[in-house]
A and B are shown apart, each in its own frame.
Chain A
Amino acid sequence: MKSFTYERADTPVEAAAAVARTPGAKFIAGGTNLLDLMKLQIETPTHLVDVNGLKLDTIEPTPDGGLRIGALVRNTDLAADERVRRDYGVLSRALLAGASGQLRNRATTAGNLLQRTRCPYFYDTAQPCNKRRPGSGCAALDGVSRQLGIVGVSDACIATNPSDMAVAMCVLDATVETVRPDGITRTIPIAEFHRLPGDTPHVETALKAGELITAVTLPPPLGGRHIYRKVRDRASYAFALVSVAAVIHEDGTGRVALGGVAHKPWRIETAEAELPRGSKPVTEQLLSGARPTRDNAFKIPLVERTLGAVISEARS
């Protein structure tokens, strides 16, 4: 690990300002992904701003009947919150499908949104990777790509976003609240928060330098059946090959987003109109223009079958 200086921030604006004024600085909250990457020198911050003391760790009701989740709410606490379990079950389920008990106890809401891909070529510093070293090439394109993306991919990167939580937040139309070093706040719809790789796969989110996530807000409850179905190589503690987050109403209408297939949670609202007609037409729209590799073409039928299982479960 490279040497770094360290400070604890007292307020969100101070934290944002500290990162903005120090070249090579990063925020650290749970640290479960950042420290892993620092040990491999994939991340080499020169300065860490510890945001754990910012008191952004509560879940509060919003005036319109939604919930405002503090950036530092731990994944365990968000999944266990009674309001989330009752009204946003897909979010609880997604969180509980991710990582291990130990990691969920440390991992934060904002940190989960900012976790990096688990593409094996991003992790292998002996290999080219446009995300890790822009312009160096993508070893995954001709490499082992079973876990990697099938839609929204580019010639520069076929990595997937590893978050389960973000897929559920996408289907719930969450918004990300941030503060900048000058104190200006803004909200970013979750669908616009993560970017497609294009030719700049190292730019993963809409955040600007020093911009700090302060909360994620959920709109009022949608009702309906909340389902998160994750398909993976082992039954627990593994990243998704494919996952489906869905909210489906009694009349068969609803919403659906996919994990494990793209550089961001994958949701196409026009495809949702097909939900009452079953998984095949929805999948055709969701994955139109898919560019799978030889290794991961199986994800196309896997999405259709997983979505089919979700629709069946919703009807049961």
Chain B
Amino acid sequence: MSDPSELNANRREVIAGGGAYSAAPTRVEAPVLTQVSFVVNGTSRTLELDTRTTLLDALREHLHLTGTKKGCDHGQCGACTIIVDGRRINSCLTLAVMHQGSAVTTIEGLGTPDNLHPMQAAFIRHDGYQCGYCTPGQICSGVAALAEIRAGIPSHVTADLTTPVELSEAEIRERMSGNICRCGAYSNIIEALTEVAESQG
């Protein structure tokens, strides 16, 4: 797909390619389109995407699920955290085409304004945010982090690898280190997670 003549495949590519040509005299690679299907918040979705599209951009730009946020776009801040096949991941560091058949849960799939997920309600109750930009990632990460503790997955601060993991503030802090909050709402976020964890028994 490196032949520039392939830019006339459709109108969008001609426009995109033409713009790029006028901006830079170097050879422009045509986008490669691939179809991918996955389930997002319980609904099957099929998309025709440039192979370069991250799962984050597929959700935000193609499915218009803008609850998931783009922060650093390099896996350092955690704002893009979503749950894929039961596991929290950075949606900015994975390609959409790699998720054929996956089950994706975003903040929009956890709860709604009328029917909040317990973690969403706890964040409100404990004021677990200020500006709110990192919050969808914090909540998705928090839900999955508590599931990891329940599943017995150890962490860096787990004292004994051969006994069951015990819930503690230190465990929650360590497990949430991949989610940065510039407003510094960490102590309230810990309170929200602790409340949800304790209510789950």
Contacts and interface: CB of A to CB of B under 8 A. Distances in A.
B156 A106 contact: no
B152 interface: yes
A237 B93 contact: no
A92 B154 CA distance: 9
A149 interface: no
A99 B175 CA distance: 10
Interface stretch (A45-53, A54-62, A191-199, A212-220): A45-53
Contacts of A89: 161
Contacts of A298: none
Interface residues of A, number: 38
Interface stretch (B58-66, B71-79, B121-129): B71-79
B155 A96 contact: yes
B41 interface: no
A240 to B, nearest CB: 13
Contacts of B161: 85-86, 89, 92-93
A1 to B, nearest CB: 5
A94 to B, nearest CB: 10
Contact of B177 (A8, A31, A46, A100): A100
Contacts, number: 117
A102 B89 contact: yes
A284 B158 CA distance: 32
B154 A6 contact: no
What class of interface size applies to chain B in its complex with A?
A: 35 or more
A35 B29 contact: no
B69 interface: no
Interface in A1-23: 1-6, 8
A30 B84 CA distance: 13
A39 B98 contact: no
A183 interface: no
Chain B interface helix/strand/loop/mixed: loop
Contact of B32 (A6, A28, A85): A6
Interface in B70-127: 73-75, 78, 81, 87-90, 92-95, 97-98, 100
Given A3-B31, A31-B98, A103 B162 contact: no
B197 interface: no
A100 B90 CA distance: 10
B51 interface: yes
Interface string A78-120: 0110000110010011001101111101100000000000000
B29 A236 contact: no
A100 B32 contact: no
A253 interface: no
A36 interface: yes
A106 B175 contact: no
Nearest to A88: B161
A2 B141 CA distance: 30
Contact of B98 (A5, A50, A101, A102): A50
A102 B32 contact: no
A103 B100 CA distance: 20
A127 interface: no
Given A52-B98, A101-B88, A106-B90, A4 B156 contact: no
Given A4-B52, A80-B153, A100-B78, A35 B31 contact: no
Closest 8 CB pairs of A and B: A100-B178, A236-B177, A3-B29, A85-B161, A237-B177, A105-B87, A80-B153, A96-B156
Interface of B: 1-2, 29-32, 34, 50-52, 54, 73-75, 78, 81, 87-90, 92-95, 97-98, 100, 141, 144-145, 148, 151-156, 158, 161-162, 173-179
5 contacts: A86-B161, A92-B154, A96-B154, A101-B177, A106-B90
